[in-house]
Chains A and B, each alone.
Chain A
Amino acid sequence: MRRTLWAAALLGPPLAVSLVLFVGPLVYLFHVSLHEASQSELYGPGPTLANYAAILADPFYLTIIKRTLGTAAWILGLALLVGYPVAYFVALLPPRRRALVTLALLFPLMVSNVVRAYGWVAILGRRGVINTSLRDLGVIDAPLDLLFNQEAVVVGLLTILLPYMVISIANTLAALDRRYEEAAQALGAGPLRTFLHVTLPLSTPGVASGLLLVFLLTLSAYVTITLLGGPRSKLLVSLIFDSVVSFQWPLAAALAFTLLAIALALTGLILLVLRPQRVQGRG
C-alpha cells in the first residue's frame, strides 16, 4: 500500500504534465482541425475533413509541400555527406580530444537558432561580410543578393543542424568494436571494402538517428527559414504561422497535422530503408 502510494506520488506530477500539456493539446488540436473556420469562435461546426481536402486539392499547398521535401532532402543529403567523414574523424580521436571536440560541437547547439541564423544574415546580407568585403576589394559594384533564397535556407539549416548528425554518427562509430574491422581485414577486405561492407552498415543506427533529428528539426525551423528564406522561400511551417496570424485556426491545425504526417511518414521510411535495429545485438 505504501509502495503504490509512493510510486503514484513520483509518477503523478510528470504524467499529469505530459497528459495535460502535451497529449491533451495535441488531441484538441486534431479536434480543431476537423472543424470549419469561424469568425468569432476558435472553430466552427464540424466534424469535417474539409480543411485537409482543401490542402490536398490546392496546388499552392502542394508546391510548398514539395519545396519542403526538396529542401529537407538537400539538407539531409549534405548533412550526411559532410557529417559522416567528420564523425569518422571525431570517432578516431583519443578519448580526451574526442570529448573536447564533442564539446565544440555541442556548444553551437546551445546558442539560440535565431542568433545563428542572424550570423548568416550578417555574413550573407546586402551589408554582410561577403558583400562589403567584395565591394572593398573592388570586385563588385552593387551588392549581391545572397539572402532570401532556397540556397541560403539550405546552407543556414545545414550548418545549424550538422552537429546533431556528427554527434549521432560519431557516438556509434566510437562505440563500434574495432575487431569487426580487423575481422574484415583478416578475411581479405581492403580499407574501402571494409568500410562499405562492415563499418558503414554497422553505423546505420547513428546515421538513422542523425537523419531523423535533422529532418524533424528542419520541419519546424520557422525562424531560420523566415530569416534566411524571406517571403519567397516559404516552407510548410511558414504556412502554419501565416494561418495563425490570419486567425484561421482550423486550417493551421490541419496544416500542423499534415506536417506531422509527413514527419511520421519519413521517419518510417528512414527506419525501413536503413533498418538500424538489425545491427543491435552483438555477434
Chain B
Amino acid sequence: MSADAPDVRLEKARKTFGAVVAVDDIDLAIGRGTIFSLLGPSGCGKTTTLRLIAGFEQPTSGEVFIRGRRVTDVPPYKRDFSMVFQSYALFPHLSVADNVAFGLRMRRVGRADRAAAVKEALALVKLDGFADRFPRQLSGGQQQRVALARAIVVKPAVLLLDEPLGALDKMLREEMQVELRELQQRLGITAVFVTHDQEEALTLSDRVAVMRDGVIEQEGAPRAIYEKPLTEFVAGFLGASNFFDGRIAARDGAAAVVETKGGAVRVAHAAGAVGDQVRLAVRPERVRLLRPGSEGIVAQVRDIVYRGSVTHYYLDGAGGAILAYSQNASPGASAWAVGDAVACAWDAESGVVVTPDRRP
C-alpha cells in the first residue's frame, strides 16, 4: 500500500431508504492527510455518505474501503475511524477526561498511558484544566473541543465530522475553522467534513465535493470548484453567479465568441460547435463596469448597496438582472449612480461555460 493510496474509498456506494435514494452510486477517493469536505444543500445525502463510511448505515450496494481494507460488512466499532457529531454526543455521565479516555479504554490502553494521552489531547484543544468538569458545565465551544479531543486521541485513520461547527455562533465558528485546520495539519489526519456552509468548505478543505440529490456534482480543490464550476448548480451554490444564455458565434482553438442578448463576449474555454446554445457563469466580483459604449454587455444601474469593503451593484441587462461587486479600494462616493447606463465586461477567463440545470 503506497503512501498516497486513498484512506477512504467508496465504490459505487448506494443507499436507499424505501423509495428515497439518499446516496446514488457514489465513487469517492480521499487521499491520506487531506481534509475532504462534503458540501451540499439540506437532504442531499451528506450525512448518509458519512454514515456509510462509519458503518452506521449499510450500503444498499457498492463497497467501502478504509486504508485499503474492505470494510463494507465490518461493524462500526471494528473500523478505524472516529467521529465528531453535530450535537457532540458527549457522554453526560462521564467527566471530560473520561469522555476523552473512552476510546482508549475500549482499545485497552493501560491506565498510565491513557492519562498521558488524555492530557496531551486536552492540551492540543487548549482545554488543560477542564479534565474534571462534566459536559453540562462547558460552553458550546468547549464541548466542541472535547468532542474533537475525544475523536483525535485514538489516532484514527480517518476523522469524520458531521457539521461539527453548526451549533456555534459565527465568530466562534470561524475561530474553530482555523484551529481545526491547524490541528489536522499538525497531526496529518485524514478528515471527512460535512457542511452546508460553502465558505466553511472553501476555508477548511484540501478538496471539496459538491453533492446534490445523492450525487456528487463536482469534486476538486476549492479554487477549481469556485472558479471553474462545471454545472450551473455548483456555480450557484458556491457563492453568487451571473448566468448568460447565448450561442457560439465563432471559434478560435479552445476560445470562442458567444453571442448573448446584451452583446458578444469572449470565452477562453468552450466546447461545442458554432451555433451551439451555451450558458455562461460569471462571478459578480469579476464583472467590471465601464462607460457606455465600451465593449461589453449593456445594462442600467437599478440599485446600489454599500457593504463596507465592497459595493454591490444591481443592474438590469438585456438578458436579465446582473450583479456586480466592486472593491472599495479608495475613499469617496460610488463611481455610478442609480439610473446610469453602463457596459459590463470581464476577462475571457472569467466567463465559464456550465451545464445548465436539469430543473427549470
The residues of A with any CB-CB pair to B shorter than 8 Å are 177, 179-180, 182-190, 193-194, 197-198, 201-202, 204, 278-283
Contacts and interface: CB of A to CB of B under 8 A. Distances in A.
Is chain B's interface secondary structure helix, strand, loop, or mixed overall? mixed
Contacts of B78: 188, 190
Interface stretch (B86-94, B196-204, B230-238): B86-94
A156 to B, nearest CB: 35
Nearest to B56: A182
B85 interface: yes
Nearest to A181: B89
A282 B136 contact: yes
A190 B77 contact: yes
B93 A202 contact: yes
B352 interface: no
B358 interface: no
Contacts of A189: 77, 102, 106
Contacts of B88: 283
Given A188-B106, A190-B77, A283-B135, A183 B154 contact: no
B143 A283 contact: yes
A189 B102 CA distance: 9
B205 interface: no
B260 to A, nearest CB: 51
A281 B90 CA distance: 11
A186 B147 CA distance: 12
Contacts of B106: 184, 187-189, 193
Contact of B85 (A179, A197, A198, A279): A179
B262 interface: no
Contacts of B85: 179, 182-183
A179 B92 CA distance: 12
Contacts of A179: 85, 87, 89
B220 to A, nearest CB: 29
Contact of A279 (B75, B92, B107): B92
A186 B136 contact: no
B83 interface: yes
Interface of B: 54, 56, 75-78, 81-83, 85, 87-93, 99, 102-103, 105-107, 134-136, 143, 150-151, 154, 160
Given A177-B87, A179-B87, A185 B92 contact: no
Smallest CB-CB A-B distances: 7 pairs: A283-B135, A283-B90, A281-B136, A187-B103, A188-B106, A179-B89, A183-B89
A274 to B, nearest CB: 11
Given A183-B91, A185-B76, A281-B134, 8 more contacts: A177-B87, A180-B91, A185-B75, A188-B78, A278-B92, A281-B92, A281-B136, A282-B92
A281 B94 CA distance: 12
Contacts of B90: 183, 283
A109 to B, nearest CB: 30
Contact of A188 (B54, B107, B160): B107
Contacts of B154: 187-188
Contacts of A202: 91-93
Contacts of B83: 182-183, 186
A179 B93 CA distance: 14
A55 B168 CA distance: 62
Nearest to B100: A187
B91 A198 contact: yes
Contacts of A201: 91, 93
A188 B77 contact: yes
A182 B76 contact: yes
A283 B91 contact: yes
Contacts of B81: 186
A182 B143 CA distance: 17
Contacts of B91: 180, 183-184, 198, 201-202, 283
A214 to B, nearest CB: 23
Contact of B89 (A182, A188, A190, A280): A182
B111 to A, nearest CB: 16
Contact of A185 (B77, B99, B135, B136): B77
A283 B136 contact: yes
Nearest to B88: A283
Q: Point out which of B81, B83, B160 has the most chain A C-beta atoms below 10 A from its C-beta.
A: B83
A187 B92 contact: no
Most buried by A among B77, B143, B151: B77
17 contacts: A179-B87, A179-B89, A182-B76, A182-B89, A183-B85, A183-B90, A184-B102, A186-B54, A186-B160, A188-B107, A189-B102, A197-B105, A202-B92, A204-B93, A280-B92, A281-B92, A282-B136
B255 to A, nearest CB: 51
Nearest to B83: A186
A189 B85 CA distance: 16
